[in-house]
Amino acid sequence: MTEPLGVAVLGAGHMGADHVRRLDRVVNGARVAAVADPDIGRAKDAAAGIDGVLVHTDTEAALDAPGVAAVLIASPGPAHEEALLAAFARGLPVLCEKPMVPDSTGALRVVAAEERLGRRLAQIGFMRRYDAEYVRLKSLLDGGGLGRPLMLHCTHRNVSSPPHFTSAMLVDSSVSHEIDAARWLLGQELTAVTVLRPRPSSGAPEGLADPQFVVFETAGGALVDVEIFVNCGFGYQVRCEAVCERGSARIGEERAMAVTAGGTTGAEVPQDYLVRFADAYDREVQAWVDATRRGTVTGPSAWDGYASSAVAEAGVRSLESGTRVAVSLAPRPALYADPS
């Protein structure tokens, strides 16, 4: 491919608008060919100043727009299945933000549709696999120098939650990142989940079970715990410590500028995931564009998207029942036999 990859961006909210900016100003070898959002004003705002972009309110119109050769889905999760299937029907490669599909049944339909094509078209947006610190930790664990991983301790904090956020979304939206990261870092499926609920923070909206403490069991006998706290009030923090037989490794420590003044020293705390993981998003989209231009698909697969949804569903059941819930996955198709 000699021409820039023409990309249709579906969804022009916080994430979609940032991807439009990224494709236009940061990523090499791509251009924004179309933007679609039910709110036409929002779509126009996202595309403002970019030459040649067609703006639509309809997904299929954007997919059929002249020059579109690939799709980036950044719309709300419930809209993903329809958009993925429409892209598959047109043979268009896709980068789909997580969750691929919120419910595991719908996610399996996407897996089955891709399996019928006989080739992968979808990469799922678990961007932590492209974060420099996570990549180093993965390499360290794979190298085996620290011995067998025994535990992962994870922290995931947000300044505040959106008005529509529910207790279940702490698991199936926020913790979905830790679900994929744990599967990827350890190379193991998650087999059971227990969600514990401390007394809600006074900073949490009425009725929201925040924070939560989530414990995953893995097929290899490791344990993964996640503190999810989406109304901590002070910043966005993501940390992970791997405890192994002969040592440990920790990522996510503060890397921001420290300011000393007035007799005190303070460090900036990122306020948003787009700040903390800006480089990871850049690497992720660049890798997707490069692979697409080569005619290949790499990165997290539709199977990874399905597995994340299935584990998250078990987590929501544990949240609601207060009990340990086993995770049951469908048989893994041959299309996804190789590690992604």
Distance CA 160, CA 331 (A): 38
DSSP 8-class letter at 167: H
> Contact at 8 Å (CB) between 8 and 34?
yes
Higher local confidence (pLDDT), 50 or 1: 50
Measured distance CA(335)–CA(331) in Å, rounded: 12
Q: Residue 33: pLDDT band by 50, 70, 90 thresholds?
A: very high
Closest CA to 130 of 27, 236, 30: 27
Work out the average pLDDT over 193-200: 97
The CA-atom distances, in angstroms, between 19 and each of 7, 101, 173, 247, 285 are: 11, 19, 19, 38, 8
pLDDT at 255 over 80: no
Q: Lowest mean pLDDT: which of 2-6, 191-195, 226-230, 305-309?
A: 2-6
Say which CATH topology domain 5-128+279-301 has: Rossmann fold (3.40.50)
- Sign of the alpha-carbon dihedral angle for 7, 9, 15, 20: positive
Average pLDDT estimate for 282-300? 97
Helix, strand, coil content of the chain in percent (nearest 5): 40, 25, 40
Mean of pLDDT over the chain: 94
- Per residue, the 3-state secondary structure of 112-123, as one string, reads HHHHHHCCCCEE
* Bond from prior residue into 99 cis (ω within 30 degrees of 0): yes
Least confident of 56-70, 93-107, 242-256: 242-256
Ranges of CATH 3.40.50.720 domains, the chain: 5-128+279-301
Two structure tokens written together for 211: 């924070």
Contact predicate 204/210, CB 8 Å: yes
Name, in order, each residue with C-beta under 8 angstroms of 246's C-beta and a sequence gap of 6 or more.
145, 146, 147
Q: Which residues contact 75 (CB under 8 A, 6 or more apart)?
A: 10, 11, 13, 16, 37, 59, 83
- Average pLDDT (101-122) is 97
Split at pLDDT 50, 70, 90, the class of 337 is confident
Structure tokens of 273? 């995931």
Angle at CA of residue 12, ends 7 and 13, nearest 5°: 140
φ/ψ region of 28 (left if φ > 0, alpha if ψ in -120 to 50, else beta) reads beta
What's the CA angle centered on 15, arms 157 and 19, to 5 degrees? Answer: 130
Average pLDDT rounded to a whole number, residues 284-299: 97
What is the arithmetic mean of pLDDT over 278-295? Answer: 97
Identify the pLDDT of residue 99: 94
User: Residue 225: how many CB atoms within 10 A of its CB?
Assistant: 16
Q: How many other CB atoms are there within 10 angstroms of residue 48's CB atom?
A: 10
Domain with CATH 3.30.360.10 in the chain: 137-275+306-326
- The dihedral built from the CA positions of residue 317, 134, 99 and 47, taken in this order, carries a sign that is positive
Q: How confident is the model at residue 263 (pLDDT cuts 50, 70, 90)?
A: confident
pTM of the predicted model as reported, rounded to 2 decimal places? 0.93
What's the CATH fold of domain 137-275+306-326? Dihydrodipicolinate Reductase; domain 2 (3.30.360)
pLDDT at 8 over 90: yes
